[in-house]
């Protein structure tokens, strides 16, 4: 059996035998669907109070995906745990002894976890969409409407990419607690604050969560200087930086 294939099987076994990772992914699904449906129901209730301009800018699909604000936190936790658990238990030494080629080990782990995160992200985005549209009632849209399918796929991809960024950061920091302590407050509080401060808003637009939000919208936000394609490019740049940083730390430092 080739080293990459053996690594994939080993990482799959690790991922599927740790109960906490499954619960974290379920939390990402449940929180995203629940919050998105709640926001959609509230939007439906107050739709008649919107101005004509607000109705014109109303994004039925994007409203469904607002739960991603909370769901991304569970995906961050998943990405951190995938990497950080091996460092916290000391299993990283055994893993690297079994797979001495660190690049094979690292990218094998990332590939398996990213595949799982992508499947969960896409399932979550489609369930969220249909639940949200049901809650929106007569103000809903359909999957076949212009750019709606693209936004739904973008919402699922965004969740998976947040997990990848978290894996890269956790590899650089080599600590679950430190990674969580930085990533959770940053994406739950800091970016939200920056995006509401006039002087910092231009910088905040280029942070991962803001770019990801653009990927999941059908109606473009006039304040954002790029569309869904630009959001994807920005997200991929952040992913590449995090993954490369993690690889360089893993390659150059002892376990």
Share of the chain above pLDDT 90, in %: 62
Confidence of residue 151 (pLDDT cuts 50, 70, 90): very high
Identify the pLDDT of residue 52.
84
Identify the pLDDT of residue 122.
97
Confidence of residue 32 (pLDDT cuts 50, 70, 90): very high
**Widest Cα–Cα separation across the chain:** 64
Residue 93 C-alpha from the chain's centroid: 28
Alpha-carbon distance 166 to 77, whole Å? 8
Residue 120 C-alpha from the chain's centroid: 10
Residue 57 pLDDT greater than 90, yes or no: no
Q: Which residues contact 194 (CB under 8 A, 6 or more apart)?
A: 200, 201, 203, 204, 207
pLDDT digits (tens, 9 = 90+) for 202-251: 888 899 999 999 999 999 887 889 999 999 999 999 999 999 999 999 98
Residue 255 pLDDT greater than 70, yes or no: no
pLDDT digits (tens, 9 = 90+) for 190-204: 888 888 887 788 888
Between the CA of residue 185 and those of 79, 145, 221, 239, what are the distances in Å? 16, 36, 25, 19
- State the chain's mean pLDDT as an integer: 90
pLDDT digits (tens, 9 = 90+) for 17-28: 878 889 999 999
Residue-range domain boundaries for the chain = 3-252
Identify the pLDDT of residue 2.
65
Residue 1 pLDDT greater than 60, yes or no: no
Q: Which residues contact 103 (CB under 8 A, 6 or more apart)?
A: 247, 251
pLDDT digits (tens, 9 = 90+) for 65-122: 999 989 999 999 999 999 988 888 888 888 887 878 888 889 999 999 999 999 999 9
Predicted TM-score (pTM) of this structure:
0.92
Residue 7 pLDDT greater than 70, yes or no: yes
pLDDT digits (tens, 9 = 90+) for 45-55: 998 888 888 88
Q: Virtual CA dihedral for 59, 65, 66, 69, nearest 10 degrees?
A: -140
């Amino acid at each position: 059996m080739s080293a990459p294939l053996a690594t994939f099987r080993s990482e799959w076994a690790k991922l599927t035998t740790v109960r906490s990772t499954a619960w974290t992914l379920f939390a990402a699904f449940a929180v995203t669907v629940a919050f998105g449906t709640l926001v959609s129901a509230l939007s439906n209730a107050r739709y008649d109070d919107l101005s004509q301009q607000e109705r014109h800018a109303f994004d039925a699909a994007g409203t469904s995906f607002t739960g991603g604000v909370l769901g991304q936190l569970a995906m961050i936790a998943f990405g951190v745990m995938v990497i950080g658990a091996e460092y916290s238990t000391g299993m990283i030494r055994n893993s690297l002894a079994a797979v001495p080629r660190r690049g094979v080990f690292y990218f094998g782990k990332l590939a398996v976890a990213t595949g799982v995160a992508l499947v969960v992200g896409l399932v979550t985005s489609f369930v969220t969409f249909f639940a949200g549209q049901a809650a929106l009632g007569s103000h809903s849209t359909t999957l076949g409407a212009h750019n709606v399918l693209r936004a739904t796929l973008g919402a699922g991809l965004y969740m998976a990419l947040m997990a990848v960024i978290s894996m890269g950061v956790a590899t650089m920091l080599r600590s679950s607690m430190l990674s969580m302590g930085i990533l959770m407050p940053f994406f739950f509080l800091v970016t939200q604050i920056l995006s509401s401060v006039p002087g910092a808003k231009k910088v905040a637009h280029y942070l991962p969560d803001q770019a990801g939000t653009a990927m999941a919208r059908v109606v473009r936000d006039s304040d954002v200087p790029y569309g869904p394609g630009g959001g994807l490019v920005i997200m991929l740049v952040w992913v590449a930086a995090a993954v490369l940083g993690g690889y360089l730390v893993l390659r150059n430092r002892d376990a």
